Structure 1
Amino acid sequence: MSAVTALPGAEAYVATAIDLHARPSANFDAKLHETVVTLLKAAATGPVTQANSLGAEDMVITHLINAHQLPIGIFVLDTGALHAETLTLLDRLKAQQAAHPHAPLTVYQPQQQAVVQFVAREGEGAMYRSIALRKACCGIRKLEPLARALAGQAAWVTGLRREQSGARADVPLVDRSEQESTGRLKYNPLAEWTWGDVWHYIGVNAVAYNPLHDAFYPSIGCAPCTRAITLGEDFRAGRWWWEDEAAKECGLHVKKEEGIAA
């Protein structure tokens, strides 16, 4: 739950993620400029789309796309297993993007029959039984819809940051690792941002965000695979917490030529 603070004789108030985390870097303005330049490059690449997971970073990127009227489409993967709070934010994003025709929003869902067959065969809690089953679930709910979302795109934009995990420590602003196999570039305009930078931008610009962030969910995925973290835990400790740290990716951001998660 959110942090509660009270002074003697005063009413308690609930601290939000903005209160707790909004601490810009000393060079934040330079980072913001670099991010906008990176988005301008992405927009000039050709057909390009932003993968919006409805997390804090992606909502910042969508806000920047809208603020600069960039012709970058946006897509969301509705896996069929998202938190109610995430779905509420998705509805809000749909209404928001209806006013921004330069950045149309498309929602992709998994093939329903594939989901039904998987659950009937393996059960609702299959992801807890083995990494192979969890990745199979991710494959059906995320990777197959992702392939449809990226079809025909020259590039895509993500909210990956180097600070998020050890596996992402070397994330570049422009990732060319997929170009040989798919012909696509991946742009990571927030690669150098800190968590404090993200929340500073959200606070200053009144960016809509998932209220689960106020309840100590820094990284939010499907409901069965996401929990809140506690003080001192890694940023992504709440994702697939029952697995070995090295396995903690769903496959959306894997460097194929190296065979490692990114």
Structure 2
Amino acid sequence: MASPARTPDTLDLGPRFTAAEVAALNARFADASTQDMLAAVLGEGLAGRVAVVSSFGAESAVLLHLVAQVDPATPVLFLDTHKHFPETLAYRDALVAQLGLTNLVVLEPDAATVAKKDEAGLRWSWDPDGCCEIRKVIPLAKAMAGLDATITGRKGFQSSTRAGLPRFELDSSDAVGRLKINPLASWTKDALDAYFTVHGLPHHPLVAQGYPSIGCAPCTSKVAPGEDPRSGRWKGWDKTECGIHVPGSTDDGDGSELPPGYEPVF
């Protein structure tokens, strides 16, 4: 539970957050620049207990550049599902080197779990929720056991399900009460494009080929101009998120491989 002595004014926040604290943080930083907000988050009470979760996708370079300007040693968690486009892995390595990020943490699915539940590697074709659970949700849940907060690159304009996204919110993936921080929540596509230009950031090579949102190769399709940027993800399925931000898997596992405090959504 939150300590009554803590106040969002100093970001002296412990490992459990309340809705009231989240509301206070959103109010405190309502008019702050993204750079100032990140400097406060990474330099005050959350220092050492927060990590960036990055897919190294179409727009990831903006958030990673902003973070690198404050603290290039901030942990950057990358979920290597073993289903990524080769271009994504090459882009990841090039961007890490260019930005001087020094703490890339590559998370991989448990080999025994994959062998048991996705031996042929085709679970994505008949149960994309279960595939995401094995390759994304469980590995990230384990990595987050020692964290109080994560920083994401989600933007409100990306889809109708992300409209109105706040800068700070409670992480609903488990009952621990971690903080989820969305520095780019209110950024527009034009603002992102301008940032790329001003800072000379490289674009993911697949963007120019019609992929405005890039995930695992089997579940990512090209998007026609004017369509929802995330409409190419899991095309043909009633699915808009992988599960690391919005729980919703239907895997039939028993959750025994998860860390204490994680509530599986099987």
Instruction: Note whether the superposition's TM-score is higher than 0.5.
Output: yes
Q: Please report the TM-score for the alignment, with normalisation by the length of structure 1.
A: 0.75
Please report the TM-score for the alignment, with normalisation by the length of structure 2.
Answer: 0.74
Tell me the equivalent position of 2:166: 172
Please give the root-mean-square deviation of Cα atoms over the aligned residues, in Å.
2.4
Q: Percent identity?
A: 37
- The 5-angstrom pairing of residues 15-30 of structure 1 reads none
- Further displaced range: 67-76 or 41-50: 67-76
- Whether 1:128 and 2:86 are equivalent positions in the alignment is no
Partner of 2:146, secondary structure, is coil
Aligned pairs for 1:56-205 (under 5 A) are: 56-69=58-71, 72-96=74-98, 99-101=100-102, 104-120=103-119, 123-129=120-126, 133-178=127-172, 181-205=175-199
Shift of 1:231: 2.1
- Stretches of structure 2 lacking an aligned partner (at least 5 in a row): 1-29, 249-266
Whether the 8 Å CA contact 1:56–1:198 is kept in 2: the answer is no
Structure with the larger RCO, 1 or 2 (CA within 8 Å, 6+ apart):
1
**Cα distance per residue 1:21-53 (max 9 Å; x no partner):** xxxxxxxxxx99621122123212421100011
Moved over 6 A (4+): none
Q: Displacement, 1:179? A: 9.9
Aligned length: 216
Per-residue deviation, residues 64-97 of structure 1 (Å, max 9, x unmatched): 1112336532111111000010011122244346
- Find out whether 1:251 has 2:243 as its counterpart: yes
Structure 1 residue 225, shift from structure 2 partner: 0.3
Give the Å deviation of 1:194.
1.0
SS at match of 2:33: helix
2:26 aligns with none
1:125-145 deviation line (CA, Å, top 9, x unaligned): 33233xxx2111101110111
Going from structure 1 to structure 2, the CA distance change for 1:215 and 1:32 (only over 3 Å counts) comes to: farther
How far off is 1:151 after superposition? 1.8
Distance 1:68 1:187, change over 3 A: same
Gapped regions of structure 1 (runs ≥ 5)? 1-30, 257-262
Please state how far the C-alpha of 1:243 moved relative to its aligned partner. Answer: 1.0
Measure how far apart 1:176 and its partner are. 2.6
Contact 2:173 2:245 in 1 (8 A): no
